[in-house]
Amino acid sequence: MHLNFAFTAVQILWTLTFAALLVLLVVLLGRDRVRRFPWFTASIAMVAVRLLASRMLFGRLAPVPLGAIFITLADVAAIVGLLVLVEVARRAFAGAGRRIWIAGTLVLLAVGAGVLATWGPWPAWKTLTADSGLSALRLMQLLAQKGDLLLNVLTIGLGLLVVAFGSRFKAGWRSHVQQIVVGLSTAALAQLAVQGVWQLIALKAMPHSEAEYERILGLREKLFNANSAVFVAVLVWWIVCLWMDEKGTKAVQDIPAALPSDAASAEHVEVLESEEQ
């Protein structure tokens, strides 16, 4: 008996990613994690919206409005991603002094600026501001691309700082903050690795036939599928970690419930002693 599945790897990964995003949103809402990580929750919802839009709108709209929608979503996602970094950094290093905050921020921004200056070409300003209806979209696309690159670099840098020094503050290994940052850093590192490998292949590849060209495109699809598989693994990691309570959280929550009974028993003893007297 032969089973014939008409699903491609891209379709399977899309389905797994979207399902994992929905499950993660349910966990964030059901386990009351939204209150602590509102921007992280918003970023997960943004990824789900972009993923759904790519399936529902691709091939159904003209290229220009379709590009405008996805470029706008990419810009918004980059801004939300930066807010996520600020959110988790504030919770991870809540007890850090002002000097530590300033030093860490300057180091991360310096590394990010260096990567932005050397990674990938920068188009000429005249090209971006050419007198046409697409100039605004070109500028927005550049901001989305460079913003995403900067976000990945800052995420990896913040992840290294949290793993190295988080246990000294409020981001130990069992904390949700560090678990979120580890997932963000893993996804960012995988994305940068795929982009770097593909850029090297695109620069050195010189196909001499259609078969070689198709092989290069197939390699590109495999790289992107590997990146998607890593992201699915990160989503599963977040689902498991955020479903479980942090170490010591349950015990702390149980203390207030026990206080009234202890106080009532103490008052009862005082009443009995007064009656005996």
Say if 42 falls within a structural domain.
yes
Q: How sure is the predictor about 50, in pLDDT bands with cuts at 50, 70 and 90?
A: very high
Which residues lie closer than 8 Å to 241 by C-beta, 6 or more apart? 176, 179, 180
Higher pLDDT, 263 or 91: 91
Q: How far apart are CA 169 and CA 19, in angstroms?
A: 34
**pLDDT averaged over every residue in the chain:** 80
**39 CB burial (10 A radius; 0-12, 13-18, 19+):** middle
Say if 100 falls within a structural domain.
yes
User: What pTM was computed for the model?
Assistant: 0.80
Q: How much of the chain, in percent, has pLDDT values that exceed 70?
A: 81
Say if 253 falls within a structural domain.
no
Say if 61 falls within a structural domain.
yes
Say if 188 falls within a structural domain.
yes
Say if 259 falls within a structural domain.
no
Say if 273 falls within a structural domain.
no
Q: How far apart are CA 273 and CA 277, in angstroms?
A: 6
Domains of the chain: total: 1
Count each helix (H run) and each strand (E run) in the chain, helices first: 9, 0
State the residue range of the domain holding 158: 9-121+140-243
156-205 pLDDT, tens digit per residue, is 999 998 888 877 776 677 788 989 999 999 999 999 999 888 888 777 76
3-class DSSP assignment, residue 62: coil
Say if 43 falls within a structural domain.
yes
